[in-house]
A and B are shown apart, each in its own frame.
Chain A
Amino acid sequence: MKLHEYQSKRIFAQYGIPVQEGEVATTPQEVRALAEQMGCPVVVKAQVLVGGRGKAGGIKLAQTPQQAEEIATRILSMQIKGLPVRKVLVARAADIQQEIYLGIVVDRAAARPVMMASSEGGVEIEEVARTHPEAIKKVHIDPFVGLRAYQTLWLAKGIGLPPSLHRDFGRIAQGLYRSFVECDASLAEINPLVITSEGTLLALDAKIVLDDNGLFRHPDLAAMRDIDEETPSERAAREAGLSFVQLDGDIGCMVNGAGLAMATMDIIQHFGGMPANFLDIGGGARAERVATALRLILADPRVKAVLFNIFGGITRCDEVARGIISVLDEVRPNLPIVARLVGTNEAEGRQILESSGYRIITATTLAEAAQKAVAAARGA
C-alpha cells in the first residue's frame, strides 16, 4: 500500500527527520489562502500515488498567492498517469543548493534491508542505477544489530557530503531506518533530500510503501489508505480477500493459484487475446468466493468472455464443477464461458458442466481453453 507524500512526511517528521511539511488543500481557494498565510514563493504539489509527478506538470512554483491559485486550478483538474488529482500539498519553497537521494528497500537476494544514498537526487533511483550506478552507495543492514554509525558515515562520505553535515545525515538515516522497520514498510525514500542555502538538510519529498502483509498490526497506517489508489473492482476484491489486478483486455480470468493465473494470462496473449484481469481465487475454489469473483469480472463492461481455469487437487473437479453451476444459477451471466477443469475427476467435472444447460464451452488443455476464449471474445 502506497502512502501519499504528505502522509509519508508526517511519519518521517515523527522520526526526527526535518521535512518541508506544508498543508494539504483540495480547492484553489484553499491553496491561495495557504499561500497568503505561508508567504510566497510556495510550491504546489499534486498528491497522487504515482511517480513522475514533476515531469507531468504536477509540481509547480508560485511567486504570488494569485499565481498559486491559478496553478492549483490547473493541477486539480489534471490526471497523472490516469489518476485524477484530488489533493495538492502546499509548502513554502526551499532554497536548494544540492539534491541528494536517500532510501531503503528490501534486498531480496541478500534477505536484508539495504540503504542507498546517491549524490544524484531528484531523479528516480532506477534511472541513476542505469546511467551511472557508481553514484549509488549502498549498505546492507543486519536485522539484529541495526544501522550502525560507521555505515551512515560511509554513505555520507561516499556521496561527498561536507563533514559539517555528516552528523545530521546520520540522524536522518537512523530515523529513516526506524520508520521503515516500525511501520513495516517495503520502501522508505527521501528524494530529494536537499542541502538548503542555509547549509542544512531538508526532506523535500517523501515516499513510503507499506508491506500489505504488515498492515494487520498497524491499524493507524491501514486507515491512511486512499481508495482512489484502486479501481472499484480492485477495492471490492481486496475487501473480499481476493487477489485481483485490473488489466486492459476483454477476457475475464478466474483461476485458482497465482502462478497458474499468470500462466493463464500469458497463454491468452500468446494466442492473440487480451486478459481483462489477473484473479487468484485461492485454494479449494469455494462457491461463495467464486460467486464474488465472477460478479467482479462481470462488473467490467469490457469483458466479452470469461475463462475458468481451475486445477482440482484436494478439491476434486466434480466438486468444483458443481460449485461453478451453483454460482451460475445465482449470478446468471450473459456471456460465453469457457471452462477448463484439470486434475482429479476432470472428466466427471466436464460432464457436469456440459449437461448443465448453460452455454459453457469446455476445454481439456490450457492451449485449447485459451484459443476458445479468444474466439469467444471476438464473437466467433
Chain B
Amino acid sequence: MAILVDKNTRLVVQGVTGREGEFHTRQTLEYGTQVVAGVTPGKGGQFACDGRVPVFDTVREAVEATGANTSVIYVPAPFAPDAIIEAADAGLGLVVCITEGIPVNEMIRVKAYLDMKRVRLIGPNCPGLLTPGQAKVGIMPGHIAMPGPVGVVSRSGTLTYEVVYALTALGIGQTTCVGIGGDPIIGTRFVDVLALFEADPETKAVVLIGEIGGNDEEVAARFIAERMTKPVVAFIAGRTAPPGKRMGHAGAIIEGGTGTAAEKIAALEAAGVRVAEHPEQIARMVAEAIHE
C-alpha cells in the first residue's frame, strides 16, 4: 500500500515538451511510472521523450485517449494556474504542481476552485511524490528511496531527500514521500497527508519536515495529539531565521512575530512528537520509534 500515487497511477505531464518537463519525464519513465500522455497546447499529435509519450493539445483529450488519472505540471508560473484548473476540469482526481512562482492571489482563486470541485492538488512549488518501487510523480530522485514502513511529508525539497537518503542508508524504507510545497497557499497541507498516513495500513511511522512561516505545523500538532496512533518524528528548519525575511520559499517567513520555529517545535512536542534538533538525528529517531 501507499498513499496518493502507486503502480496504478496513469500520469499525464503538462508541459512535457519544455526543458524541465521533458528532463523529468525521462527520469519518471526510467523509474517505471506509467506516463501515458503529455500536454502542450499547439503540439498535439507529436511525441515526446523519443516517441515514448504521445502529446495532446488539451488535458481533456489526453484523458479521453489514455485514461490518465493523475497530472503533474511543469509549465511556467504565468500559465500554471490555467494548467491546474484545466486538469481539475478534465476530471483528474490528483493534480501535482511542481511550478514555483505562482502569485499568491492567483493561488487563492485556484484553491477555492479546486476545493469546490473536490480535486486534490499537491503543491505548487513542490518536488512531488514518490512511492518507492511503484511511482515517481515529480522531481524527487528515485534511487535514494526504497520501499518500507515510513511515510514522509515535507514542505521542503533537498532537505527531504537528505532525510530519505539517511533512512534508506539505515535500511528503513518508505511507503510514500510527499513534498507539499513551500508556498503560503498550497493545495494539500500536513494534516491532510497525516490523515492519509494514519489510514494507510503499511505506514508504521511518519516523518514531518516543516519550516518557519504560517501555522500548518501547529495545526498538524493538534491533529497528531487528537487523532494519530502512529509515532511521528519531526524537524523544523529555520530556528535561526531572522524575522521579516523570506527564506527562499515564498511561505518561509516570520511575519508579525508568528510562524517561528520555536512555536512550532513547542506545539509538536506538546503533542508528543519527537522533534529532532538537526536533520541527521531524524533517521535514528525513526528507527527507535519503529522498534518501540
Q: Give chain A's interface residues, CB within 8 Å of chain B.
A: 106, 108-109, 111-113, 125-126, 129, 142-144, 180-181, 184-186, 211-214, 216-217, 243, 245, 247, 255-263, 265-267, 269-270, 275, 278, 280, 283, 311, 313-314, 342-344, 365-367
Contact = CB atoms under 8 A, between A and B. Distances in A.
B240 A269 contact: yes
A366 B279 contact: yes
B256 A125 contact: yes
- Secondary structure type dominating chain A contacts: mixed
B268 interface: no
B280 to A, nearest CB: 5
Interface stretch (B49-57, B60-68, B84-92, B206-214): B206-214
A258 B248 contact: yes
A106 B184 contact: yes
B197 interface: no
B256 A126 contact: yes
A110 B213 CA distance: 14
Given A216-B78, A262-B252, A344-B144, A126 B277 contact: no
Nearest to B278: A267
Size bin of chain B's contact surface: 35 or more
A314 B77 contact: no
Given A266-B278, A366-B279, 15 more contacts: A108-B184, A111-B185, A214-B103, A216-B101, A217-B103, A258-B211, A259-B159, A260-B162, A262-B248, A266-B261, A269-B239, A278-B241, A343-B141, A344-B144, A366-B278
A106 B108 contact: yes
5 nearest A-B residue pairs (beta carbon): A259-B156, A258-B248, A257-B158, A313-B141, A259-B159
Contact of A259 (B144, B154, B245): B154
Given A213-B101, A278-B241, A260 B159 contact: yes
A222 to B, nearest CB: 13
Interface in B87-106: 101-106
B219 interface: yes
A144 B160 CA distance: 35
A259 B155 contact: yes
A216 B81 CA distance: 14
Contact of A313 (B158, B248, B278): B158
Contacts of A313: 140-141, 144, 158, 161
Interface string B244-262: 0111111110001100010
A257 B104 contact: no
B103 A275 contact: no
Contacts of B105: 106, 113, 143, 180-181, 184-185, 211, 214
A104 B252 CA distance: 20
B290 interface: no
A143 B251 contact: no
A182 to B, nearest CB: 9
Interface string B214-250: 1110010000000000000001011111100111111
A255 B238 CA distance: 14
A142 B159 CA distance: 35
Nearest to B277: A270
Contacts of A311: 158, 161-162, 165
Contact of B249 (A106, A129, A258, A266): A258
B211 A259 contact: yes
Given A259-B155, A283-B157, A245 B112 contact: no
B111 interface: yes
B280 A366 contact: yes
Q: Which among A214, A261, A269, A343 has the greatest number of chain B C-beta atoms within 10 A?
A: A261
A144 B115 CA distance: 13
Nearest to B241: A262
Given A259-B211, A313-B158, A344-B144, A214 B278 contact: no
Contacts of B239: 266, 269
Contacts of B185: 106, 108, 111
Nearest to B166: A342
A262 B256 CA distance: 20
B117 interface: no
Contacts of B237: 259-260, 262-263, 266
B240 A142 contact: no
B139 interface: yes
A328 to B, nearest CB: 22
Interface string B267-287: 000000000011110000000
B193 to A, nearest CB: 16
B247 A262 contact: yes
A314 B248 CA distance: 21
B143 interface: yes
